[in-house]
Chains A and B, each alone.
Chain A
Amino acid sequence: MSQNILGQYLVWHFFDMPKELGKAWKNYLRSYFNFFSTGSLLKTLLTPWHGLMWSYGRGFSFTRYAETIISNGFSRIIGAIIRIFLIIFGFVVEVFIFILGGIVFFTWLFLPVLLVVGFVFSIKLLF
């Protein structure tokens, strides 16, 4: 029975729990990706800010065309700058979650080793 339990423990520690931790890690990455709207902002990176567009109007006028192109260009540039700001922030958070998740994941995997090493270290400290 004890052998059976040991076997079950190994399956649980090195298969079941890492699977669950992996899922949680993925969930955090996905939810923060959505929280900072990274996907939508990337897709609309160069679209005008809040859809603000100037019309070229009827007939051809070089100055009006130039004005409109510049205005619409600025609208796109402003949009891109603000969006990039949030995209970068979201990206930093994602990197942080990725690293933190990795630490948790690998700490769990090496927990038995860490416990043994910790135990030996603490015994050394005591004696």
Chain B
Amino acid sequence: MFNFDFQKTAIFQAVRIARSPIFGVVKIKKIAFLLLTIIFSLLFLLSAISSNFSSFDYNSLTEFSTDYDFLLGFALISLIIFVICSLIIVFINTKIKRPSVPLMTPVVNLAEFLSFDVAKALDSTIRFSKKRKIFPINSTIFLYFLLKENSELSFVLSRLLLSTEEITQKLGEYFSPQKFHDRLSTGVYSEKFEQTIKEAIKIAQAKKHKYIEKGDILLALSIYEPIFGGFLLEADLRPDDVRNIILWQEDEEIKRRKKRRFWDYENLSQKGSIGRGWASGYTITLDQYAVDCSQAALQEGINEVVGYKTEIEQTERILSSPGVNNVLLIGEPGVGMENVVKAIAIKSIKGESLKGINYQRVMELKIPQLLAQLKSIEEVEDILDKIFREVVNAGNVILVVDDFHNFVGTEIAPGAIDITGLLASYLDLPEFKLMAISSYTGLHKRIENNPSILNLFSKVEVKEPSPKETLRFLQRLAPFLEGKYGKFISYPAIEQVVDLTGRYIADVPFPKKAKDVLEETMVRLSASDDKWLLPEHIDKIVAQKTEIPVGKIETKEKELLLNLEDLIHERIINQKEAVKEVSTSLRRARAKLKKRKGPMGGFLFLGPTGVGKTETAKALASIYFGSEDKMIRLDMSEFQSKEDIPRLIGSSGEEGLLTTPIRENPFSLLLLDEVEKAHPNILNLFLQILDDGHITDGMGRKIDFKNTIIIATSNAGYKIILDELDNDLDFSEVKGKLLDELFDKAIFRPELINRFDAVVVFKPLSKQNLLDIAQLMLNKIQEGLGEKNIEFVISEELKERVVELGYDITFGARNLQRTIQDKVENPLAEALLREEIKKGDKVELSAKKFKVKILEK
């Protein structure tokens, strides 16, 4: 049921009043009578002053009062009319335009919930539809008037890089009764209009809005209005993006509205206070070596902290507890631990926190500064003791120590000292409140080794904000950056920052990585003529930072995927089935036909040595990631016992051989050589990686493998391949037999094999294959000499001889490279050094003794 009777609502009356000419006149009158009041008052005053100067006696004063009464009378009447006009305007704006709303029931008139701006747009829609005889009243015209009458929405759309003019123009094309022939709609309003209103009600309720605001309607229209939907689709935007941008706009609006209400306690309390220190002890030494976070927050203008709600609440609880009240904030550097400190400082200034925290000074002690200024350890300890005593004596200080691990159980080094002995005696005093900040590494490496200190703290883990929270954080930051650099920031650019930094920068957490990229891009943009920050600008910066061709990854990646077989075959001889299987699996994985959690691709390469397994991995790294350097190679025979796990995933004080390179370069190919030799528990780690796409390293950090291709190679069971091929068995049957053998002998567990996108079996190489490989290798030498303007002729005999010497049934083509080095590269290099070969020469190598022959041209 759709009960929507606009004309029976109070908001409809409000629209009519606001549109009435009388209201327009009142606004003009208000200004006119204000001016008249000023003019008459000035005239009256001037007259009074001039008459006083000319003569002064009692008689003249009485005369004056009668002579100039009319001026005072006019001034007073003007003032009264001005006040009445102002009253009418304020009354209409604050009362009439904001009528009370009924309770939400199934039969309630939904039009009662419209806000004034939405109602005004609807009123225009109805009038226009009546005039043009367009029925039922539809969402397209409604959107047209909503955009036309609300300039704030134009700004919202421009942040989405959409042009309001283009949209309204397109909407205007549909303003004819024929175009709105709507069979589904039976009432006064079209079906889409009905759906829009119902959706907007849901959106408004979810946001706890009293009325359906213009943003709620715009979001609902983005879902149900087809022309607007088309624009969004074309710009690659989803209703969720509209939701986010509206939230952003509403957030800004709330901030502006709050600022305007100067009489609210929140605004009044921003002045800080005087004489607070007179109620507490001196902190002369502390003031010398500390930064007052409370004062800094006041100077910044008290910008509220986004997110970290749980962490802030936990910290407040601990700091205000009656007993030991020291907090150890733990998180990855860059996760925003300073925001928790800032939030506590802000809440404390406003008196909005708990009893033990309100109106306290949050002071960050700069121990490195102290260490730099003082000469001896004794001096440092003396000063620190003095500072801690001052903190206790003052009774209104919350002390903050950043990089706390540097001051626990450490040897003396630049910027580091062990203060635990000194600190321990203060930490259990209720008057001493400490917020220590440390990284996970610092905690595991240093602080945990000192349990007596650790026990005096309550830990608060500061988690990395989610991409959604980071988006909101950047939106909060945007107006400041826009003001600083004089450029607008588009929503797609902010989304791109979060998306790309989330995908390609793994060694720094949110929000730092996103904030850094956004700021860096704004700095660059400020030097250009572009007015808007676009996703392309972000692509450039991320590409420069990560060395990943981010900008055109979409088109470039598509081309690569479609031609992957050809590109790999430029380097790999034979192995058509294997290359095809890898290519098709990768295409399937990257097309994201299914929701994918694991890495970009996971493959198990099986086959004898020297058949091109590693070379295929190298080729893939080079083609897909742009360089062979993007291949992280682990020899799994080095991980044959359980004790090797820490070496792989790291531990306190030791970086992981697997996790650290992936953390630093997630956009890489991970090659696990001889995977069958690894300990089963180590293989179990890869079950999780292949399944979920991430693993937690020894330091508690989440390592993401979603942008990594994992290739495991093994020559287990290669004899089966050789035997079966000797017996002329179809190669497609070899794979089945091989896997049976691997499972029978418990070399691999089926659950591991099943987690790979494909198990690829490499064939042994034929003589022709080896000749082709030799040709490829010799081609490289030919190219090198070609650059020196020397022509190198590769004869068939030479190739055959190289293959004859380099081929080994057990090692495949592996020896071929060495043979070419020994027999071809060495004689050529010697001849070059002896200057037997010169520029412009044409040379050949004899197949028998590998002697350099200069041929005639």
Contact = CB atoms under 8 A, between A and B. Distances in A.
Interface of A: 1, 5, 8-9, 11-13, 16, 23-24, 27-28, 30-31, 34-37, 40-41, 43-44, 47, 49-52, 79, 82-83, 86, 111, 115, 118-119, 121-126
Could you tell me the dominant secondary structure of chain B's interface residues?
A: helix
Interface string B82-102: 011001000100111000000
Contact of B278 (A16, A23, A86): A86
A29 B269 CA distance: 11
A51 B87 CA distance: 54
Contacts of B274: 35-37, 86
Given A9-B91, A27-B268, A36-B274, A41 B279 contact: yes
Given A9-B91, A12-B91, A27-B268, A51 B80 contact: no
Given A36-B275, A37-B273, A44-B279, A118 B13 contact: no
B76 A40 contact: no
A37 B278 contact: yes
B150 to A, nearest CB: 26
B95 A12 contact: yes
A16 to B, nearest CB: 7
Contacts of B84: 115
Nearest to B76: A122
Interface in B50-84: 69-70, 72-74, 76-77, 79-80, 83-84
10 contacts: A31-B271, A35-B272, A41-B279, A50-B280, A52-B282, A83-B275, A118-B79, A119-B77, A122-B80, A126-B74
A49 B268 CA distance: 29
A37 B279 contact: yes
Nearest to B396: A40
Contact of A115 (B83, B264, B279, B280): B83
Contacts of A124: 73
A119 B69 CA distance: 14
A40 B13 contact: no
A66 B262 CA distance: 54
Interface centre among A30, A31, A41, A49 (most CB of B within 10 A): A31
Contacts of B73: 122-126
A28 B70 CA distance: 40
Contacts of B269: 31, 34
Nearest to A42: B279
Contacts of A1: 13
A28 B279 contact: no
A27 B265 contact: yes
Contacts of B91: 9, 12-13
Contacts of A24: 263-264
A83 B70 contact: no
Contacts of B263: 23-24, 27-28
Contact of B69 (A37, A115, A126): A126
Contacts of A52: 281-282
B282 A50 contact: yes
Contacts of A34: 269, 273, 351, 359
B275 A86 contact: yes
A8 B278 contact: no
Given A8-B95, A16-B95, A28 B74 contact: no
Interface string B224-260: 0000000000000000000000000000000000000
Contact of B268 (A31, A44, A118, A119): A31
A122 B80 CA distance: 9
A83 B277 CA distance: 10
A112 to B, nearest CB: 9
Contacts of A35: 271-274
A37 B77 CA distance: 45
Contact of A121 (B76, B268, B277, B359): B76
A12 to B, nearest CB: 4
B276 interface: yes
A37 B268 contact: no
A36 B351 CA distance: 14
Interface centre among A9, A40, A52, A124 (most CB of B within 10 A): A40
A115 B84 CA distance: 8
B585 interface: no
Contacts of B278: 37, 41, 44, 49-50, 79, 82-83, 86
A115 B351 contact: no
B589 interface: no
Given A5-B96, A126-B74, A51 B271 contact: no
Given A51-B280, A86-B278, A119-B80, A36 B273 contact: yes
B393 interface: yes
B657 interface: no
A115 B87 CA distance: 11
B280 to A, nearest CB: 7
Nearest to A116: B80
B481 interface: no
Contacts of A30: 265, 268
Interface in B352-408: 359, 393-395
Contacts of A28: 263, 268
A82 B80 CA distance: 48
A55 to B, nearest CB: 13
A125 B70 contact: yes
A115 B76 contact: no
Interface centre among A1, A52, A122, A126 (most CB of B within 10 A): A122
A30 B352 CA distance: 13
Contacts of B272: 35
A36 to B, nearest CB: 6
Contacts of B13: 1
